[in-house]
Amino acid sequence: TGVGYQALYNTTTSGYDSGDFNTALGSNALSSNTTGIRNTASGYKTLRLNTTGYQNTASGSNSLYKNTTGYQNTASGSFSLYKNTTGLKNTTVGSYSLYSNTVGIRNTASGLYAGYAITTGSANTFLGYNAGYTGTTATISSSTAIGYEAQVATSSSIILGGTGVFN
């Protein structure tokens, strides 16, 4: 089901599970989708470049915008998971959260700008405004930053508030 200018514009339904079971609400939502299935996009240009990605949920303008083949991602908030292309199983709530993620998997972020800098890191958790915002977090894995502007710079670490790093 598509509602809005060019929503589901390129979707094909040539066979069972080929572009089926998608919902797009908003201008250009899921407009590049070809055979991706079971996606839900709500908002201006959500899941805009998705082609074959499946079981993604995006709400908020431009969320999961660059996703092409990534699957089972959930993005809520404008520009959340914006740069994600092939990353999978990421969950984010808050505008610009996990914004820079491209291929990272199993990341969780909640809060405005939470996990903003992650690009390829995986299995991270960022909770709070600006948690994981700095570039030092781009490739870390299995780390957690909790609290206002909490930053973690090494893999397999946890930080509770502030900007220090503890193993």
3-class secondary structure, 42: strand
Which residues, at least 6 apart from 5, have a Cβ–Cβ distance to it below 8 Å?
Answer: 27, 28
Phi first, then psi: what are they for 92, rounded to 5°? -145, 140
Of 128, 60, 114, 116, residue with least CA distance to 83? 116
b/e 30-54 (16+ beta carbons within 10 angstroms → b): bbbbebbbbbbbbbbbbbbbbbebb
Whole-structure pTM value: 0.92
**98-131 pLDDT, tens per residue?**
999 999 999 999 999 999 999 999 999 999 999 9
**10-60 pLDDT, tens per residue?**
787 655 666 788 999 999 999 989 899 999 999 999 999 999 999 999 999
User: Residue 64: its pLDDT value, please?
Assistant: 97
d(C-alpha 152, C-alpha 154), whole Å: 6
Let me know: does 137 contact 121? Beta carbons within 8 Å.
yes
